[in-house]
Amino acid sequence: MSLMNTLLEVSGSWSHFGGAVGAGLAAIGAGIGIGQIGKGATEGIARQPEAANDIRGAMILSAALIEGVALFAVIAGLLAVLK
């Protein structure tokens, strides 16, 4: 039983590590994704200034959806850390 207890303790610490890494990767991924959206929107507005309002609205909607998914991923990672 001593070996089993040791394995359970080690696997518990790895789940904390995995949760922390997952939360960090979700935040980094969301930052990169929103940066790419901003880059594309800026290029699109530079090419077609008359469509700026439509492009800006689509950019804000896409960024909000990415941010929402990233928030869920960070919460899931933090729950894995705190459990």
The Cα–Cα gap between 22 and 27 comes to 9
- Residue 6 counted as domain residue: no
> How many domains is the chain built from?
1
Whichever domain contains 47, its CATH number is: 1.20.20.10
Q: Residues 1-53: pLDDT tens digits?
A: 576 666 556 555 677 788 888 889 999 999 999 999 999 999 999 999 999 99
Query: What pLDDT is attached to residue 8?
Result: 57
- Residue 60 counted as domain residue: yes
- Residue 58 counted as domain residue: yes
The Cα–Cα gap between 48 and 75 comes to 39
Query: What pLDDT is attached to residue 80?
Result: 82
- Residue 67 counted as domain residue: yes
Q: Residues 52-81: pLDDT tens digits?
A: 999 999 999 999 999 999 999 999 988 888
Query: What pLDDT is attached to residue 1?
Result: 55
- Residue 9 counted as domain residue: no
Query: What pLDDT is attached to residue 12?
Result: 59
Question: Domain range holding 78?
Answer: 15-82
